[in-house]
Structure 1
Amino acid sequence: MANLATVDIPRAELSGACEGEAPILDLVHLSRQTFGDHALEIELLTLFERQAAQLAVRLAQAPGPGDSANRMELAHMVKGSARSVGALAVAAAAEAYETALRHGDGAQSRLCAALVAEIEAARAAILALL
């Protein structure tokens, strides 16, 4: 396995996105968060991958009436977890969805789908590393 602190996985490699976008995983950020502790990096990525899988399933379910508060809580949880491991595109998508829910934006379903897609891209990148 490569040294996680020295590898960024470009978004274009896994999702075909445009050049200049944030990497799927900012592993330099993760290394700073863990003070370079490689074992801790692996542990955090593993935990995030598992949690993200569970949350993606919940987010992919059709929202029920009055489900906005619960979904805002899920998006907020994803945002914090993603930021801690350097999954900054996931965090941005979670923040956009959380904001849309808070303001009753009509783009909620599109933003939720984008969040789930970002989660899956990050999970794929993590599994490729581990």
Structure 2
Amino acid sequence: MALKAIAVEKLDTIGQVRAARPIDLVHLAKQCLGDENLEVEVLRLFDTTIKTYFGRLELAASYDDLALNLHSIKGASAGVGAWTIADLAKACEVEIQAGRPLAPERIADLGMAVEEVRGFIADMLGKQQD
């Protein structure tokens, strides 16, 4: 029990240390080996992925649906460096694994983070086409 409390506490402090941008562009560049065209393609794919899985999360009616969608959101977000989304999804996972119900406020917070990242991606992709 104490270990779970420590894990949640660590998750809360991790979010405060992370980069100010919605996506850590240095992390993304490393993941794409510096290939800017690949970065753009990964961002497009991530935008579609996060929209799809968050939509499914909002409609989830069972523990399994919640767990699968949260885990997918967390993994995809960590892959591109969308740390806020990854951290929020992880905190939600910890809550449901501990048997606590997922508060609607948690989903709303995650939704705001998703929209922020999607707006950031739209701005970046718009600048790429100019």
49, 56, 76: which is aligned to 2:47? 49
Instruction: Name the aligned partner's letter for residue 54 of structure 1.
Output: T
Change (3 A) 1:20 1:103: closer
Change (3 A) 1:20 1:120: same
57, 64, 70: which is aligned to 2:65? 70
Unaligned segments of structure 1, at least 5 residues: 1-18
62, 86, 90: which is aligned to 1:91? 86
Aligned mates of 2:91, 2:77 — CA distance in 1 = 14
Q: Is the 8 A contact 2:18 2:83 kept in 1?
A: no
Q: Is the 8 A contact 1:75 1:97 kept in 2?
A: yes
Aligned mates of 1:53, 1:114 — CA distance in 2 = 15
Deviation at 1:21, TM superposition (A): 5.7
Which structure dedicates a bigger proportion of its chain to helix? 2
Name the % identity.
31
Aligned mates of 2:73, 2:123 — CA distance in 1 = 21
TM-score of the superposition, structure 1-length normalised? 0.76
Deviating beyond 6 angstroms after TM superposition, the runs of 4 or more aligned structure 1 residues are none
* Residue-pair matches, total: 109
Q: Is the 8 A contact 1:31 1:37 kept in 2?
A: yes
94, 110, 120: which is aligned to 1:125? 120
Unaligned segments of structure 2, at least 5 residues: 1-15, 126-130
Instruction: Name the aligned partner's letter for residue 63 of structure 2.
Output: S
